[in-house]
Amino acid sequence: MDIAALNDIATRMVEPGKGILAADESTGTIGKRFDSIGTENTEDNRRDWREMLFRTQPAMENYISGVILYDETIRQDAKDGTPLRKLIEDCGAIPGIKVDKGITALAGRPGENITQGLDGLRERLAEYYELGARFAKWRAVIEISHPDQYVGSTPTRGGLKANNHALGRYAALCQEAGIVPIVEPEILMGGHHSVERCHEVTEKTLNSLFTELYEQGVALEGIVLKPNMVVAGKKCTLQPSREEIAERTIKVLKDTVPAAVPGIAFLSGGQENEEATRNLDMMNKIGGFPWKLTYSYGRALQQSALFAWKGQEKNYDAAQTAFNHRAKMNGLASLGEWSADIDAEVDA
């Protein structure tokens, strides 16, 4: 393991003013997004959509440090025959790859899931390295049960340990292969839970995660953490202010994440586009932490561009304008320089 080389990649992934584009939607997930714009879910349409994003300037050069790809995409060529991964590299960004194989029910833990994909991962990582991937992503899914559900409430200690153990094994295999692991323990925000409950569960989750990473021999200098922000569930009647979200998230991170970690790239977790930008910006305005705080957004970077594109070539320029704008806004947020007034100026 070359820790210095891993650290160099991880540091580039969280370069100030830039963040990570999550373009690793499975075929089924991107199909749902295409349904929302009346576009058929074909291999050509998936290629055209992602090629459009990867050719967007100045977004890709100025505001995107890396792109998480799906297995299909890392093997695809653009219409002119250029490998899609080369379009990313030519912009100075780093190609990455999603390596988990989705979630399944965790045996003996009703209401909890476990992420699959460890079998054969060493061999797949070696192939992805040859294909140009220099970082990878593995997502663990943690769900908070309804606050009135006192019997069998989730997450359990065993459920957290199982998911974080898998993240630790994945991360160790990545580093063995010369690939930086993004470790992503996502606490879903769709429930009824309060911000206080999210704070508590996020703290427990991250403490468990770093115990597992240590026990698996993972070099923290060569990872990027991709956590949720500390927010209330969408169905909770009492929603916190952006100041409370920022303060609680920073406190949890300071209490759990070692300073050796180069950076933290938040998932958007279903937040609205501007909401995800605003919350990241508020944390960076507060400051005072040892790691870089940036974004690893999928829908929150792509949604406005998707709606502008509508699957039609004639809308190519409009879609790129929308993507440029959201990328620029999140780049500003990663520096603590965003404002609602700037966001209202679609001048990308």
Active site residues per annotation: 184, 226
Q: What secondary structure letter does DSSP report for 15?
A: -
Q: Nearest Cα to 346, choosing from 316, 315, 321?
A: 321
Contact partners, residue 201, CB within 8 Å, separation at least 6: 142, 144, 155, 187, 193
Angle at 75 between CA 15 and CA 71, to 5 degrees: 75
Amino acid at 269: G
CA angle, corner 299, sides to 297 and 300, nearest 5? 60
Number of C-beta neighbours around residue 340 at 10 A: 11
Q: 292-326 burial string, b = 16+ CB within 10 Å, else e?
A: bbbbbbbbbbbbbbbebbebeeebeebbbbbbbbb
For residues 206 and 185, is the Cβ–Cβ distance under 8 A?
Answer: yes
Q: How many residues does the chain have?
A: 348
Handedness of CA 59, 286, 188, 342 (dihedral sign): negative
3-class state of residue 272 by DSSP: coil
- Please give the Cα distance from 25 to 27 (Å, whole number): 7
Gap between the Cα atoms of 244 and 286, Å rounded = 11
For the chain, state the CA radius of gyration.
Answer: 19
- Helix, strand and coil percent figures for the chain, each rounded to 5: 50, 15, 35
